[in-house]
Structure 1
Amino acid sequence: MKAYFCIIDLIIMKHFLFLLLFPILGFCQPNLNEVDVFFQEKQFKQAEVFIINYLEVNPNNLEAIELLGDAFGHQKKWNESIESYKKLVEANQDNANYYYKYGGALGMKALQNKFKAIGLIGDIKSSFLKAAELDEKHIDVRWALVELYMQLPGIFGGSKSKSLQYAKELENLSRVDGYLAKGYIYEYDNNPELAEKYYKMAIQEGGSLVCFDKLTKLYENESEPEKAIKNIEEANDKHPRNALHYQIGKVAAEYNIELEKGEQCLLTYLKKYSPEDGVPKAWANYRLAQIHMHKNNKNEALKYIDLAIAELPKIKPFKEEKEKILNL
């Protein structure tokens, strides 16, 4: 849906056999398909070495060069990633995805070095525009352009109208993406009413967890926790996920509302917890400590904050919360 890379907003692209394979790489040509294992296991350094070895035998293999750029990107080696993607663009100037990845890597470099960012903006923009020109159905690059034009200052070519233009193109390709893009634009432009309208339209059209999450975050940013909780509950009705129990508890704890509901949701989250839920149990215990602090239950609050600290002892907010509880 959203772009892997854009100048402001980063969502990085999406791996045990290497040590076994390494001794034989010098004796036989590696099979490029084997690199998939390293990516699946997020072993990006091993993927890098594997692909470099492959390229020694097949220096002009564009698929391998692209995979090497991806491996560098996962490791945030943006200069090396840029070099790989630039080779692709030079080798095939009709491939939209090559321009998209090249512009994205340039954007990530700009984020790392704000002093060089101004000098990179032109290449970032031209790469994305070329990708959009080459592929009229490229959704990711249109998302990148929506965000780029909204977040760039006007002096550097930022333009709400151009952002809306690419949101309209997205809508023609995918109504959900178009509605989400318009919601993003109006949220960024401090127009929460229109942002809410389009996020709701995205929910009605597609109804994915992503759509619900965008609306939830808008309500949280606008300090409307009641609406946020109601929206999370509607999301959970359609897409039951244990992680949504944590989200309800988090909002309840942060805004001191619906504390009983928040407590029960957090207890449910802990009871059903698995690593796939994403948020460590320590944070659920932290939110329970907050809820009991709101209730002036000092002993219960201390119990839960101590559980949180025991699991993740270096988290600063946990220690700060304990100080607040001790001062009750």
Structure 2
Amino acid sequence: MRYIFLFLSFPCLLLGQTPKEDASNYIAQKQYVKAQRLMMDYVLEHPSDKEAIELLADAYGYQKKWDEAIEHYELLKDLETNNANYHYKYGGALGMKALTMSKLRALGSIGDIKSSFLKAAELDPKHIDTRWALVELYMTLPGIVGGSKKKSLKYANELEALSKVDGYLAKGYIYEYDDEPELAEKYYKMAVKVGGSVTCYEKLTNLYESQNEPEKAIETIEASQDKHKRNALHYQLGKVSADYNIQLDKGEQCLLQYIKNYTSADGVPLEWAYYRLAQIYKHKKNSKKALNYIDRALSLRSDFKQALKEKAAISK
């Protein structure tokens, strides 16, 4: 599911707020159980309140309680049959549940997933998330059960008409999935040029890594850093340097910078930065420093499997 919430910097319970506002703030702060409990009681008293039912369904979805989420999204789309977003969320919850099932059982859900997304697309010609879902669905499904690159490109074209950057990213995804890296690169570069978001640069970087072109990956990360000034990009560059044994001094400096400026908002835990530094020092034949950083990583997470394996390799 593709949800975007703003993280609030003030306490979630404020005098005079309604239960729905409280639940919304709980969800924004990732306190999904609290939101669920609050909305369960509220929905019992207000069984036709669509906003409350949606908040409850969202809280279930974030906890990966797919059966409960599906039940409440289905209720929503029955209460308001012409609401595209309800059909989209219902299809999304069905799809996420299907991922937890065996392939054989998941096949039984494909028809409902597809029809929900198609209904949402029909109801709202400008619903971007639904078109993304259809792009991905038609590309990942086998042809025997309805998969179709042609249909996927149809919705990518619709996305492009609504948002050029989304359309270019969708086409890049399609061609990357279909093992056509030159076309994928073309569209990801177009997305970078038009949109220039961190996501655009990241898609291009990941493509270069998958094609074993680390120099281009580093060049793209540096371009992203010049524009966005994100500490997380220091880690990404250090990771490529460590993985491919290239530009080791630059990788080392980036990882040290990442550690110096680290906050939890950067996403990648500190132990991974220490692990990457250990890899770099191993490439530099400096086993003393490599072991030092591996031990730092393990001091933060003693069951860090990759670090334990790396320590054994360095020690040899």
Q: Give the TM-score taking structure 2 as reference length.
A: 0.95
Give yes or no for contact 1:13–1:73 (8 Å, CA) kept in 2: no
Looking at structure 2, the residues matched to 220 and 136 of structure 1 have their Cα atoms a distance apart, in angstroms, of: 35
Q: In structure 2, give the amino acid aligned to 1:209.
A: V
* Displacement after TM superposition at 1:32 (Å): 2.0
Give yes or no for contact 2:281–2:290 (8 Å, CA) kept in 1: yes
Counterpart of 1:25 in structure 2 is: none
Q: In structure 2, give the amino acid aligned to 1:239.
A: H
Corresponding residue SS for 1:76: coil
Decide which of 56, 60, 63 is 2:48's aligned counterpart: 60
Counterpart of 1:103 in structure 2 is: 91
Counterpart of 1:219 in structure 2 is: 208
Q: In structure 2, give the amino acid aligned to 1:172.
A: A
Counterpart of 2:23 in structure 1 is: 35
Corresponding residue SS for 2:225: helix
Decide which of 226, 231, 236 is 1:242's aligned counterpart: 231
Q: In structure 1, give the amino acid aligned to 2:79.
A: A
Gaps of 5+ in 1: 5-11, 22-28
Looking at structure 2, the residues matched to 288 and 127 of structure 1 have their Cα atoms a distance apart, in angstroms, of: 47
Counterpart of 1:132 in structure 2 is: 121
Aligned-CA RMSD value? 1.8
Q: Does 1:145 align with 2:137?
A: no
Decide which of 48, 53, 62 is 1:74's aligned counterpart: 62
* Displacement after TM superposition at 1:267 (Å): 1.1
Counterpart of 2:147 in structure 1 is: 158
Q: In structure 2, give the amino acid aligned to 1:170.
A: L
Which structure 2 residues correspond to residues 84-103 of structure 1 after superposition, within 5 A? 84-103=72-91
Looking at structure 1, the residues matched to 143 and 178 of structure 2 have their Cα atoms a distance apart, in angstroms, of: 13
* Displacement after TM superposition at 1:43 (Å): 1.2
Q: Does 1:287 align with 2:276?
A: yes
Give yes or no for contact 1:30–1:54 (8 Å, CA) kept in 2: no
CA offsets, 1:54-92, max 9 Å, x none? Answer: 112211111111111101101111011000011111111
Looking at structure 1, the residues matched to 229 and 145 of structure 2 have their Cα atoms a distance apart, in angstroms, of: 44
Counterpart of 2:250 in structure 1 is: 261
CA offsets, 1:224-273, max 9 Å, x none? Answer: 10000000000001111111111111000000011111111111111122
CA offsets, 1:106-134, max 9 Å, x none? Answer: 00111111242111000000000000000
Looking at structure 1, the residues matched to 29 and 4 of structure 2 have their Cα atoms a distance apart, in angstroms, of: 14
Give yes or no for contact 2:50–2:76 (8 Å, CA) kept in 1: yes
Corresponding residue SS for 2:191: helix
Q: Does 1:185 align with 2:181?
A: no
Q: Does 1:277 align with 2:266?
A: yes
Decide which of 28, 45, 49 is 2:37's aligned counterpart: 49
Q: Which moved more, 1:290-299 or 1:269-278?
A: 269-278
CA offsets, 1:250-307, max 9 Å, x none? Answer: 0000000111111111111111222221112211111111011111111111111111
Corresponding residue SS for 2:108: helix
Looking at structure 1, the residues matched to 289 and 174 of structure 2 have their Cα atoms a distance apart, in angstroms, of: 43
For the structure 1 residues 289 and 31, does the alpha-carbon distance in structure 2 shift closer, same or farther, using more than 3 Å as the test?
Answer: closer
Counterpart of 1:26 in structure 2 is: none
Looking at structure 2, the residues matched to 110 and 217 of structure 1 have their Cα atoms a distance apart, in angstroms, of: 26
Looking at structure 2, the residues matched to 143 and 208 of structure 1 have their Cα atoms a distance apart, in angstroms, of: 17
* Displacement after TM superposition at 1:40 (Å): 2.1
Q: In structure 1, give the amino acid aligned to 2:300.
A: E
Q: In structure 2, give the amino acid aligned to 1:49.
A: R
Looking at structure 2, the residues matched to 184 and 300 of structure 1 have their Cα atoms a distance apart, in angstroms, of: 40
Q: In structure 2, give the amino acid aligned to 1:271.
A: K
Give the number of the structure with larger relative contact order, counting CA–CA contacts within 8 Å between residues 6 or more apart: 1
Identity of aligned residues (%): 60
Looking at structure 2, the residues matched to 68 and 183 of structure 1 have their Cα atoms a distance apart, in angstroms, of: 35
Looking at structure 2, the residues matched to 40 and 97 of structure 1 have their Cα atoms a distance apart, in angstroms, of: 19
Q: Does 1:318 align with 2:310?
A: no
Corresponding residue SS for 1:252: helix
Give yes or no for contact 2:19–2:39 (8 Å, CA) kept in 1: no
* Displacement after TM superposition at 1:30 (Å): 5.9
Looking at structure 2, the residues matched to 63 and 205 of structure 1 have their Cα atoms a distance apart, in angstroms, of: 35
